[in-house]
Amino acid sequence: MREVSFGQYYPSGSKVHALDARVKLLLTIAFIVMVFLVKSLYAYIAVAAFILLVTLVSRVPVLKVLKSIKAIIFIVIIMSLINLFANAEGKVLWSWWILTISEGGIITAINLALRLIFLVMGTSLLTYTTTPMELTDGMESLMYPLKLIKVPTHDIAIIMSIALRFIPILMEEVDKIMMAQKARGACFDRGGVLKRAKALLPVLIPLFVSAFRRADELALALDARCYNATPNRTKYKQAKLGWGDLVATLVTGVFITLVVAVNNNFWGLY
């Protein structure tokens, strides 16, 4: 089976795991916003230190968090390359034909790469320490204002939860179908872009057929288990705010202030 390391819950029973999912969601959003504001090297070091701290407290193996980068490494490389050549500010360091690398380009490329990497590490820490159910319940709870204007927040939450559950199952299926097509002589890694895209068609069609069949059965299973039986649905896992949530919010808040200060060279470090 394909290792789907990004986003798979990693139970370790740590303090971070015990935090309220809503708090974790909001803190993660704050973290993401902050990462996109950061531009100084010192601030990046601070962000990295914070991620390391959270990783250690959450007792998720550091290697696992690092591995989550693997899923986006191509996007990172491509985006960085585009930025490397697109930005021509500052001293020109190297130039050939229409390609130029300048100081400004290098800086934006590094910035972008670091931001994407921290972004993925941050969000994967969220999913490593929060079960999909908690996550979707948390989102449902945060979407509460929408419920007042008759948005079916609970259905949305169930859809998200099911989607999260089926991602690894469908990925495994893609592997199986590809293997079956390869056994019949299909070739996915040769030829031009068009040829490769064409080779994927015999994978996509069975995948869709199977996904629809699954959806059909799933709908039946949801009904069989009394989905929508009562508007007064109960919650097995009731999220309650605790002291840990306060501490986590404070720590993150202090840290964000710190990063913003460093970022704006508040203390004149550089």
Partner 1 sequence: MENSTANNVVIKIDNVSYDYRSSSDEFIARGVKNVSLSIGKGEFCVLLGRNGSGKSTLAKLLNGFIVPDSGTITVNGIDTSVDESIYEIRSKVGMVFQNPDNQMVASIIEDDLAFGPENLGIPRDEIEKRITWALETVGMSEHRKRSPNKLSGGQKQRVAIASVLSMLPEILILDESTAMLDPKGRAEVMETAMRLNKEKGMTVILITHYMDEAVGADKVFVLSEGELIGEGTPREIFSNVELVKRAYLELPVASKISLELKESGYDIPFALTDEELAEGICKLK
Closest separation in Å from C-beta 171 to partner 1: 11
State which residue, 166 or 188, has the beta carbon closest to partner 1: 166
Closest separation in Å from C-beta 130 to partner 1: 11
Closest separation in Å from C-beta 226 to partner 1: 4
State which residue, 16 or 38, has the beta carbon closest to partner 1: 16
State which residue, 5 or 80, has the beta carbon closest to partner 1: 5
State which residue, 226 or 269, has the beta carbon closest to partner 1: 226
Closest separation in Å from C-beta 132 to partner 1: 4
**CA triplet 196, 169, 69: central angle to 5 degrees?**
70
Phi, psi of 102, deg, nearest 5: -125, 170
CA dist 113 → 1, 93, 127, 255 (Å): 29, 20, 21, 22
Closest separation in Å from C-beta 1 to partner 1: 9
State which residue, 87 or 130, has the beta carbon closest to partner 1: 130
How much helix, strand and coil, in percent to the nearest 5, is found in the chain? 70, 5, 25
C-alpha span between 193 and 198 (Å, rounded): 9
State which residue, 73 or 221, has the beta carbon closest to partner 1: 221
Can you say whether the dihedral through the CA atoms of 102, 108, 114, 117 is positive or negative? negative
Dump the DSSP string for 2-40.
----TT-------HHHHS-HHHHHHHHHHHHHHHHH--S
C-alpha span between 62 and 246 (Å, rounded): 25
Closest separation in Å from C-beta 173 to partner 1: 10
Closest separation in Å from C-beta 4 to partner 1: 9
State which residue, 89 or 155, has the beta carbon closest to partner 1: 155
Single-letter amino acid, residue 35: V
- 47-86 in b/e form (b: 16+ CB < 10 A) is beebbeebbeebbbeeebbeebbeebeeebeebbeebbee
**Residues in contact with partner 1 by the rule CB under 8 A:** 8-9, 11, 131-133, 158, 161-162, 164-165, 168-169, 214, 217-218, 220-230, 232-238
Q: How many CB atoms lie within 10 A of CB 139?
A: 17
What's the token pair of residue 36?
A: 């996109």
